[in-house]
Each structure stands twice: as C-alpha cells, then as structure tokens.
C-alpha cells in the first residue's frame, strides 16, 4: 500500500525545487539556521540570491565554517568590527564564561498579553464608574515602559552585577614567524602546555588578542592571570584551527611570542535581544542568580501595583563554555513558553490563590496567600499623601466567570471555617522562574511546557518568589559541616525520601 511521504518542518526535500541548482554536492545542513545547505547558494547558480550577499561571503568560506552563505553574510565581520570599536565589549562566549568555564543565557519576559490589546486596561480605574480606554498613545506608553524596564536591566543592573574583567593580553609574535596562511581577524587556538588559549589574529597590527577568560585559563596552568605575561613571553606555541563539526583541530603554524602586554578590561556579557516583552543576554554562570534577584527587585519596585496581572518570567540556561550557541538559544526559546497560554475568556494563564491574611499599614497592603507567598502592594500615590484608587485593583471571585476587580484594601480574607475548595479566590497571573543545566545538547528537549505553563516535573517552573527560598536553602547547605562531598551527601539523604514522594 503506497503512502505519501511525511516531511518534517526542516526537511530539505521541501526545498528541492529551489535548491536543485544552488545546493553544493553532498552538503550538510547549515549549523546556524538548520535549514539551508552549507555553502548555499553555489557560485553562479542563484544570481537573484547572490546579488544580495556581500562580496566576501563566498561558498568556500561558508564551507569552512559549516554554514550557508546567507548566514555568513548575516553574521558580518563581527571580529573586525569588534577590534575597530575599541575592545570595550566582547563577542566571544569564552570570555563570557565564568572562572569555572560555564556561562548562562538569561531569558526575561514581561507578560504584555492582555495589555497591548487593551483588555487589561479595564482593571485601571479612572473614576468610580469608568476605567481607562485603550487609546493608541496609552498602549504605546505601556510598551515603552516595558522597554525602559529592560533597558535599565541591560544598562545599569547587569553591568553592576557582572562587573569588569581587568585586562586582555596582546601577544606579538617574532617577525620571521610564518603567518601568511592566517586569516585576517580569524579566531584560533594556541596550544600552551596542553591547554588551549583562544585568540584572534589582528593582522594589521601584527598581534594576537586573547578571547578567553584568563582566570579560567590560568587555573588550568595552575597559575594566576598576572603571571601569564612572564609565562608566555619568549615561548613557542602551535597555532591551531579550532575544531568544528566533523572536523578536528588542525595545525596552522608555529610561532614564538616576542612580546606580551596587557590591554584594557571588558564587560563579560553579551546582550542578544532587548524589546518590550523580551530580554536575552549571555552572562557568566556564577552571576546569573544574583542578576535574577536584582531584576526581581527592580520589577517589584516598578510593577508592584500591577504584579497580579503583569507577570515577570525569568529563565536561566546554564551550559559549558563550548556548548553550541544554537543549542543554548533553542533552550532559551523553549523557556519563553513557561507562562503558558493566555485567554481572558476561559481564564487560561490565571491561577486562583486564597487570601489568608491582610494587613494595611504605612501606605502598603500586605497580602499573605495559602501557597506561602507574601506581597506588599503600595496603595498610596508617589507623594504618599493620597490613596491610589487607580492601579492596585485585583480580580476576586469564587470562579473565574464571577471575578470582579477590587481595590487591594477591599479584598475579602478567606474564612478559615470554609472548606479548602470553597470561598473566594484572588485571580493572578503568577510570575515564574525556571532553569536548566545543559550537560548535553539533548538536554534542551526536556524543556517543555504545557498550556498551563507546567513541565513534566511537577515542581517546575517555580514561582518567582521562590528565588528567596533558594537563598535560604543555599545558606543552610553552606553551614553544613564535616561533609567531604556535600552534594553527594545531600543526594544520599534525599534519595530515600524522593522514592517515597514519587510512589
């Protein structure tokens, strides 16, 4: 019985007609886009496509980097631009990695669903009988407020948390060194006592610039970064072409370092995307949780009055420094779904929390919920002399269909005599936090969220407020004494209990 073939989304046969002439022989799939063949389009085969590409984006160069010419053109000459811009920032993940050789992708998302279409503006009171209308100017201000929030994160919070690395190294080879085969501004590896140091060849200035975390590199040599100047000077090393997919590293030349000097420092972080709803950046792994705390604190300061319906979701993808960036980005993209689906008609994306206690004092309302979370919502205006009747209004009702917006001071506390499944609930869009360590590239496929924003592991994702609980847990672990391997001991203690819980 004949059946039609089934094609996946990235199946090359879908593009057989378009690529019949332009596809190089036996080409693999581009390692960047995962769609076009490596080296596509073949020289002279697709004039309409080729005329949009830069002159230097040639087929052979694409094959060397295992990418298509389209992605090669989009990548641009980043290395050359980075050097000419003064080296104040970094474009290299090896420099972003922390002293242990790990980095993290920070994924932040603000829940603008329901705001940019004007639906949730009905929760903001204008007078006792009217609410705000979704005018274009008002929707624009909402988007710009969200954009300004992420701009402050990338321009102020992140630099303060990440800090600066003190210096890079400039390595000047002997003049008689055979360097003609080295590409301008290309990345190479130096083999130094069995340890790899990442560098870039700056041909116009006849120097190599380090593109590695020197703390990590020095630790591999059992030395310190400050001693590297004397350790490398006068030594002879091999220059290696970095290994790529299905190809091991190749020796390009052998050089002797004549002079070594320090250059200015840099900020070890790469901002990938900043827009009203999203923020993505690569940062050192050991700074990720601290940055998450800072972003959470800034969110609570700016958005506390509307946090019940304007959530902040944070995801962190930890990985080793040489993990393929495409794998890391795919994991981060999957974390964008941790908020689940949103639907005001059916209440998707909302949770019913029970208010156990309410305290009004000092211009704030303290709300304690049955899940252990506590909110402190401001109920006065900025000058602290007038009640804020406009913003701190939360949905309350026995069921989603019966919800009504109420001022935070007027919320009804649950009667303890009422059965747990009865009584009014506060309907909120919770802020969430999740993380994953990519010990292998396949681990990214475990990051999956259903329509309610839940993963197969019933505890994930966490509420954003659980970040404070992680700090408490870490302090407890640090105080644990007489343990040679605390993590193994913790596993041994928790494993029997875990078996009981999962039965």
**Pairing mode, strands 312-320 and 432-438:** parallel
- Quick: pLDDT tens for 5-26: 444 444 444 455 555 555 666 6
Question: pLDDT at position 488, please?
Answer: 53
Contact between 339 and 313 (Cβ < 8 Å): yes
If the chain, 503 residues long, is cut into consecutive pieces of 10 residues, what is the mean pLDDT of each piece?
44 51 68 83 82 87 86 88 88 94 96 90 78 88 95 96 93 82 87 89 92 93 90 88 71 88 93 94 96 96 93 96 92 92 91 92 90 91 79 90 90 84 88 95 93 89 91 81 51 51 45
Question: pLDDT at position 171, please?
Answer: 94
Q: List the end-to-end C-alpha distance of the chain, in Å, as a whole number.
A: 45
Give the DSSP per-residue string, 256-273: EEEEEEE---B---EEEE
- Quick: pLDDT tens for 196-236: 999 999 988 999 999 999 999 999 988 899 999 998 998 88
Which contacts (CB < 8 Å, 24+ apart) does range 360-364 have? 360/409
SS3 359: strand
Name the CA dihedral angle for 369, 374, 379, 381, rounded to a multiple of 10 degrees.
-150
Helix (H) or strand (E) holding 109: strand 102-110
Helix (H) or strand (E) holding 71: helix 69-75
Which contacts (CB < 8 Å, 24+ apart) does range 199-205 have? 199/171, 200/79, 200/83, 202/83, 203/179
């Amino acid at each position: 019985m004949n059946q039609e073939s089934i094609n996946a989304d990235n199946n090359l046969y879908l593009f057989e007609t378009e690529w019949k002439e332009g596809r190089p022989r036996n080409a693999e799939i581009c390692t960047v886009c995962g769609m076009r063949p490596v080296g596509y389009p073949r020289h002279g085969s697709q004039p309409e496509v080729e005329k949009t590409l830069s002159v230097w984006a040639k087929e052979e160069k694409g094959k060397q980097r295992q990418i298509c010419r389209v992605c090669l053109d989009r990548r641009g000459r980043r290395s050359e631009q980075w050097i000419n811009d003064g080296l104040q920032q970094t474009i290299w993940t090896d420099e972003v990695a922390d002293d242990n050789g790990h980095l993290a992708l920070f994924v932040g998302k603000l829940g603008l669903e329901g705001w940019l279409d004007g639906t949730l503006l009905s929760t903001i009171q204008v007078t006792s009988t009217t609410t705000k209308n979704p005018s274009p100017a008002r929707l624009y201000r909402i988007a710009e407020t969200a954009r300004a929030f992420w701009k402050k994160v990338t321009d102020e919070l992140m630099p303060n948390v990440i800090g600066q690395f003190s210096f890079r190294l400039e390595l000047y080879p002997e003049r008689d060194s055979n360097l003609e085969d080295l590409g301008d501004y290309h990345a190479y590896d130096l083999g130094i006592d069995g340890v790899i140091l990442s560098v870039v060849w700056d041909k116009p200035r006849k120097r190599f610039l380090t593109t590695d975390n020197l703390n990590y590199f020095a630790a591999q040599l059992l030395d310190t970064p400050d001693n590297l100047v004397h350790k490398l000077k006068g030594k002879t090393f091999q220059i290696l072409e970095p290994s790529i997919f299905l190809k091991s590293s190749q020796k390009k030349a052998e050089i002797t370092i004549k002079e070594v000097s320090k250059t200015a420092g840099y900020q070890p972080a790469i901002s990938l995307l900043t827009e009203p709803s999203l923020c993505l950046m690569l940062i050192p792994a050991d700074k990720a949780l601290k940055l998450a705390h800072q972003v959470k604190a800034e969110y609570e300061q700016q958005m506390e009055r509307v946090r019940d319906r304007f959530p902040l979701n944070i995801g962190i993808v930890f990985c080793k420094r040489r993990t393929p960036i495409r794998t890391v980005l795919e994991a981060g993209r999957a974390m964008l779904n941790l908020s689940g689906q949103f639907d005001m008609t059916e209440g998707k994306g909302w949770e019913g929390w029970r208010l156990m206690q309410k305290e009004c004092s000092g211009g704030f309302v303290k709300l304690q919920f049955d899940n252990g979370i506590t909110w402190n919502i401001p109920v006065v205006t900025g000058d602290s002399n007038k009640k804020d009747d406009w913003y701190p209004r939360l949905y309350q009702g026995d069921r989603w269909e019966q919800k009504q917006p109420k001022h935070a001071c007027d919320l009804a506390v649950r009667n303890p005599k009422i059965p747990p499944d009865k009584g009014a609930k506060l309907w909120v869009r919770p802020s969430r936090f999740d993380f994953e360590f990519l010990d292998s590239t396949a681990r990214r496929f475990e990051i999956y969220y259903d329509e309610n924003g839940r993963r197969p592991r019933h505890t994930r994702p966490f509420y954003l407020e659980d970040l404070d609980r992680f700090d408490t847990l870490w302090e407890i672990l640090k105080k644990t004494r007489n343990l040679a391997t605390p993590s193994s001991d913790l596993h041994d203690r928790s494993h029997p209990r875990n078996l009981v819980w999962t039965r």
